[in-house]
Structure 1
Amino acid sequence: MRLDINCDMGEGFGRYRLKEDLGILKWITSANIACGFHSGDPHVICTLVEAALRNNVMVGAHPGYPDVQGFGRRSMALSAREVYELVLYQVAALDGITRGLGGKLHHVKLHGALYNEAAERPELAEAVVRAVTDINEELVLYALSGSSLVHVGLEYGLAVAEEVFADRAYLPTGRLAPRELEGSVLISKEEQLAQTSQLVLEQKVRTVDGSTIELVADTLCVHIESPDTLLFLKELHRWAKEHGVSVEPISS
């Protein structure tokens, strides 16, 4: 059994929080690097790409809505064409930077509101997938497990990694519980590890209403802003070794 561990990174500016990001790289296999629209800047992007390459961590583009004030978590009334253009722009930037620094872009994972809306709306999912394929058909698309983005990505022939979350509660529909809902974010390492174990070993998860649904778990997202992220990642590696789970990146 294999598991990719991904983390959203570079979500700051200048020297903000870089030390924390860099310390976590040795414990993950894929880094989703913010492209400058919801967060990030050239210095942060270049520093993280270089560090990821040094640590043999897969480099991914993490595009979002152009919403710095709302951290990309607010919906925007953009057309499918506009979504195509903003994803194309951001992925192209990360692709060019990564190549310029001697590496190769591996994957694309959307951020925040764009991630959730593309999971629900086929027309946005198609816009995203067309942008990714127009940059490079060999890129891996990281998408919410069981979502429209997964189905559209597969229809276009992309390699798709179905993503699950260690620290987010689920609705019975398989979507993430809204952050404004009490209990939507799992705080304790024990809760996160229990959910991870169920997702990875059983390909199932218990939802907010107590029901259990099936989800494919190719890649596990660990959020850097969660409390004690580094400690959780160390526990996760210990758990993986005990359960015969090989921690390794997704093959493109």
Structure 2
Amino acid sequence: MPLLLNCDLGESFGSWKMGLDEDVFPHIDQANIACGFHGGDPMVMMRTIALAKQHNVSIGAHPAYPDLVGFGRRSMNCSHDEITSFVLYQMSALDGMAKSQDVTMEYVKPHGALYNDMMAKADVRRAIMQAVAMYHRPVKLMLQATQEAPLHETEAKQLGVELIFEAFADRCYDDDGKLLARSKSGAVHTKEKMLAQVKQLNEQGMITTVSGNTFSIKADSLCVHGDNLEGVQAISEIKRLIKGE
């Protein structure tokens, strides 16, 4: 199956605007919608769900640490129960609002520092998987496709959780198969390198690392970003590369 395209959306808050959501929706398959903890508010959530419905895009909750000021990019020392509870809370908020528009939340993709901690720390990952497993109906969890995917599948299977593995279009990969830290040079690809990476992943199932090494990667979805017009145009080109449109 061709790669799906997912994008973080609904992150505006009050009078503060983030991203070009309306321009992005025609080009994607999955919308990761902020749930109010790092971005988004009730009106933004409702509008974003409506856009997803209009464009026949599936939606997922995009929960974060309770860090609105830091846009969810700061790690927090939270207990297992705290993480499970605030992830469930955010899932429930989006799913409840979606139901009012006859839309169903299909998956969960953590945001920012919570996502990074999920990939790096087994206890955080376990707490998030526990939240997804506790939900009153089956919901999938999206996380990064790495060489540790078999371990993550085993962890998820123990809790009855189905996974969606994602790759990143515009991020450089380190030699360990994980994303190169943003603090390092070349962490975010130029448009040319991004399109080359997408083509390689789509045609060969391979990624070239920062040092020029290659490794295979099994991904179901590709994360793209539409924060500006150039980004939206890039998503359109990525879509043509993957789906031949």
Provide TM-score, normalisation by structure 1.
Answer: 0.89
Q: Tell me the distance in 2 between the aligned counterparts of 1:226 and 1:152.
A: 37
2:50 counterpart of 1:47:
no
1:125, 1:152 within 8 Å by CA — same for their partners in 2?
no
* Residue 21 (structure 2) aligns with: 21
Question: What is residue 165 of structure 2 aligned with on the other side?
Answer: 162
Report the alpha carbon displacement of residue 237 of structure 1 after superposing the two structures with TM.
2.3
Distance 1:226 1:207, change over 3 A: farther
Deviations 1:39-91 (A, max 9, x none): 11101111000110111100110001111222111111112221111111111
Task: Indicate the RMSD between aligned Cα atoms, in angstroms.
Answer: 1.9
Query: Counterpart of 1:184 in structure 2: which amino acid?
Result: A
The match for 2:207 is 205
Contact 1:137 1:158 in 2 (8 A): no
Structure 1 counterpart of 2:118:
118
Instruction: Name structure 2 gaps, 5 residues minimum.
Output: none
Cα drift, residue 215 of structure 1: 1.4
The 5-angstrom pairing of residues 89-128 of structure 1 reads: 89-128=89-128
Q: Secondary structure at the match of 1:2?
A: coil
- Percent identical pairs in the alignment equals 38
Give 1:136 deviation, angstroms.
4.1
1:233-252 correspondence runs (5 A): 233-242=235-244
Give per-residue Cα distances to partners, 1:176-203, cap 9 Å, x unaligned: 1111111111132x21111111222222
Please give the alpha-carbon distance, in whole angstroms, between the structure 2 residues aligned to 1:241 and 1:80. 40
Q: Identify if the C-alpha distance between structure 1 residues 155 and 193 changes in structure 2 by more than 3 Å, giving closer, same or farther.
A: farther
1:157-214 deviations in Å (ceiling 9; x for gaps)? 22211100001111122221111111111132x2111111122222221111221122
CA contact (8 A) 1:6 1:31 kept: yes
1:152 corresponds to: 155
User: What is the DSSP-based 3-state SS (H/G/I as helix, E as strand, rest coil) of the residue aligned with 2:174?
Assistant: coil
Q: Of the candidates 180, 190, 204, which is equivalent to residue 187 of structure 1?
A: 190
What is the aligned residue count? 242
Cα contact 2:172–2:180 (8 A) shared by 1: yes
Normalised to the residue count of structure 2, the TM-score between the two structures is: 0.92
Q: 1:137 to 1:213 in 2, by over 3 A?
A: farther
Q: Distance in 1 between matches of 2:202 and 2:19?
A: 30
Cα distance in 2 for partners of 1:156, 1:187 equals 39
Letter in structure 2 aligned against 1:152: E
CA contact (8 A) 1:35 1:61 kept: yes
Q: Which runs of 5+ in 1 are unaligned?
A: 248-252
CA distance in 1 between counterparts of 2:77 and 2:47 reads 33
> Within 1, Cα distance between the matches of 2:9 and 2:211?
31
Aligned to 1:71: 71
CA 1:213 to 1:19, structure 2 compared with 1: closer, same or farther past 3 Å?
Answer: closer
Distance, in Å, in 2 between the alignment partners of 1:204 and 1:227 is 28
